[in-house]
Amino acid sequence: MDSRGIINIELLFCSLIIILLLIASLPMIKGNIDSNMQIDESQEGRTLLNHIANSINEVNSKEYGFNRKVHLPNSINGNYYSILVRSNEVILEFNNKKGKSNINPINLVDRNNKTMEGVQLFSGGSYLIKKTLVNNNETNAINQSSIEIRQIAG
């Protein structure tokens, strides 16, 4: 064979190796892209969770009657979510994931000043977080500091 044929075989061999390397690395590249998307999704959820927890802690640290309005986004990266507020934690659930943020212990009450185990917040809703003073003879709660969370219009 002449020198032109040897160069063509070397070129063909190098091209084949490059193609094999690209094919082998495609699953890794796809995995990295998926991982970056999950990190972004988790970060958006963590930011929302911290915002709700900080809002509750802020209201709890103020005087009676202080309130704060919170509007929740419609979705987290296109995923429906729900938030559960309990007496000492806020839990976010979406896309088979769960996140939790601790808050200062609070007494959750409804509009009638009855103690509640938890309050469910849903995506896209607007909520009023208000510090109240509860006097309830049935539960012996006299001047008890409480937090009321209720849904409001837009």
pTM above threshold 0.85: no
> How many Å apart are CA 96 and CA 107, to the nearest integer?
29
Would you say 56 and 62 are in contact if contact means Cβ atoms under 8 Å apart? no
Would you say 118 and 84 are in contact if contact means Cβ atoms under 8 Å apart? yes
Q: Cβ–Cβ contacts within 10 Å for residue 61, how many?
A: 10
Give the residue extent of every domain in the chain. Answer: 3-152
- pLDDT tens digits, the chain, 154 residues: what are they? 455 555 677 788 888 899 998 888 888 878 777 766 666 667 888 889 999 999 999 998 988 889 999 999 998 878 888 999 998 999 998 888 888 999 988 888 888 878 889 999 988 899 999 998 876 655 555 667 888 999 988 6
Q: What is the DSSP string of the chain?
A: --HHHHHHHHHHHHHHHHHHHHHHHHHHHHHHHHHHHHHHHHHHHHHHHHHHHHHHHHHHHS-TT-EEEEE--S-BTTB-EEEEEESSEEEEEETTEEEEEE-----EE-TT--B-SEEEEETT-EEEEEEEEEEETTTTEEEEEEEEEEEE--
What pLDDT does residue 1 have?
Answer: 47
Longest CA pairwise span in the chain (Å): 105
> How many Å apart are CA 105 and CA 139, to the nearest integer?
18
What pLDDT does residue 59 have?
Answer: 92
